[in-house]
């Protein structure tokens, strides 16, 4: 997440003083960070898919949920700063950015589509495969998340 935060700050710099010639760099950083977050989410999906039945301690599930929450919140934040902050800043400055964004839009839509698909898959897998085993008390099936 330190890498992600560092690069998000670079995106903020593009918003504050960006020019049309920096659009390609902004979009490259955005795709790189988005793909990194998506790869972390993919790792959790792979782990949940690996077993037909998963038993986990509450603290471990808590940690996984926190990571997922961080990844999805950052993806949402990246989408917002791109769609609202960056585009507005560039338009306010009279910069033409249409062609650059048009070329990257399919990749960005694919990235966010995969994030939504993974969210739904994680939800299905945790409902069907995950049991939380507390040190005392009753086991919890389908602990919920999304």
Mean pLDDT of 73-90: 87
> Residue 140 belongs to what H/E stretch?
strand 140-141
Q: Are 26 and 11 in contact (CB under 8 A)?
A: yes
Residues whose CB falls within 8 Å of the CB of residue 49, separated by 6 or more in sequence, listed in order: 125
The reported pLDDT for the residue numbered 19 is 66
Question: Could you read off the pLDDT of 40-55 as tens digits, one per residue?
Answer: 999 999 998 998 999 9
Query: 20: pLDDT confidence band, cut at 50, 70 and 90?
Result: low
Q: Whole-angstrom Cα distance, residue 139 to residue 7?
A: 41
* Cα 136 from chain centre: 34
Mean pLDDT of 73-79: 94
**Domain boundary assignment for the chain:** 2-141
Q: What is the DSSP letter of 18?
A: -
Least confident of 34-38, 48-52, 62-66, 98-102: 98-102
Q: What is the DSSP letter of 41?
A: H
The reported pLDDT for the residue numbered 111 is 93
Q: Are 27 and 99 in contact (CB under 8 A)?
A: no
CB atoms within 10 A of CB 109: 10
The reported pLDDT for the residue numbered 6 is 92
**Percent of the chain's residues with pLDDT above 90:** 48
Position 39 pLDDT exceeds 80? yes
């Amino acid at each position: 997440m330190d890498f992600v935060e560092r690069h998000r700050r670079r995106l903020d710099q593009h918003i504050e003083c960006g020019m049309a010639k920096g659009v390609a760099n902004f979009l490259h950083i955005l795709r790189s960070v988005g793909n990194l977050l998506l790869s972390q989410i993919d790792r959790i999906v792979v782990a949940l898919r690996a077993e037909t039945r998963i038993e986990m301690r509450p603290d471990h599930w808590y940690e996984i949920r926190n990571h997922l929450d961080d990844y999805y919140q950052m993806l949402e934040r990246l989408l917002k700063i791109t769609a609202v902050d960056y585009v507005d800043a560039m338009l306010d400055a009279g910069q033409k950015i249409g062609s650059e964004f048009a070329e990257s839009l399919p990749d960005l839509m694919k990235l966010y589509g995969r994030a939504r698909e993974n969210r739904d898959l994680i939800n299905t897998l945790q409902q069907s495969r995950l049991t939380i085993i507390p040190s005392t008390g009753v086991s919890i099936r389908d602990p919920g998340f999304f």
